[in-house]
Structure 1
């Protein structure tokens, strides 16, 4: 069976008993690894490795010794409990062994967990799992975790965020990978150890990962707040991190387009900010509201025209230094908001 995202999350959170196997595949190895980690933990429990109820098989080893998986399915250990046979990083070369093991599976055998990269629809392993009546195939796409998934991680970490903190976590989820987000939540659990107070945006800011996205937000806010003196140093750090001027102008256009939508709302900027999807909470909401009110709708239209002209110049054959051109545009935007 092929599961959609909602059913896949339910399957991983509470795997049904007496099912033969699960295939998890996707282009992003980190996302696949996180789902595999959760599935194995929920199948066999936290002590599976120590109790030898988890057998790990590399795809390359399976190619050399074709009986590894079949033997792992039938092997009985000294400790009671569910058993898992894990085969990682499979390719089309492992199809015969995996298809044969799935066909020979009997109730009481270990659950087969198979992980792979971006398997094509014609891949024999993928086709076998998708057509199997009781095994499942789960595709992992390169998209941020949804709210239910993040809430599950927060609950497992023993945290209780307030509304603004949850909004801040959702914003961070759009900017960082799921691995960084999981590590940040683990860090928050240590940060809030023995502190019964709810998780707040300040707690999240203290533990948020440093990234290019954070620097990008800084330079956009510096421009929109009229802080011209900060634009050059932040751009220098971004350039050192490998940021491209075209990516900067795209991000700036997105930011100022959001401000324009808020300023143009019939109910005023506060009403417009409240209608944003995804919602914006906490300090970021206050900053965007202040920026939309400073510029007003008409000056934001001028700002968008300037950004469009800059984008066209950056993508043209002009020989102007691109980062210097981007810096000049951001300074002009800052000055425009200060008039």
Structure 2
């Protein structure tokens, strides 16, 4: 099937080609890709019947059973009118096995979501060339973000003028799912008014890149390796350099160490930090201080600094250095 251009993807999502049985949704914005894949899977399921199900798979499923994707694609649902298989592309998704799966018609539609893929990526080429498959690139643009803002605010019967919208768009990041959450939070804050103001945006919508970095560093100090890696990949997909993310991680653990080694109480140590901790993160920060303790924090800082140095020297190996660091830190908690 001919590869779709980004501009024609929305038409396909509204009305999928019935001859197409496998669809690849990919792009640099993880939130947008996830939303589009979810919408496409729901659309396909609705076409199979009122009680059709969507089966979701990822690397954990493929690690436990490498044949799981083929099994789900080739077996009919016992209790539902139909089944759509939605899988997330990762290290465990075998493109060769997927190609073999395409050699015979499958009973159930397949939707795969992936990150940004080069034109020569094996997964992308497979979907672009197969007669019953479609490769659907998803790229966020200003018009899409503008529509998202207006749609979310309209749900709460709120309007926004052009200048305030431009200011809001400047504070939102490249990840559509995160942006939607921020706009929904803004709508809740402005509930009861008729129009969202500049002051509303300044009061409630944080800089999206700062929020994403916070999510990443706190996932690391919580010992959530999978969540931290997911946030790091999301930052990279939205354009944040990995050295910036690892630098933020270094600053975060330095603050944890300073507070953990404070001679007074942890609470007093936290009050001395500049800039001060955000009130929503304060309790979590103190909890992580107690969890790590001075000794483990002291042994952790050199590991982070070394990962930052290696990533700067060899940017191409940044993903590997980042993953190795996160696994090492998680093992210390």
Compare CA radii of gyration and give the structure with the larger one.
1
TM-score, structure 2 normalization: 0.50
TM-score, structure 1 normalization: 0.49
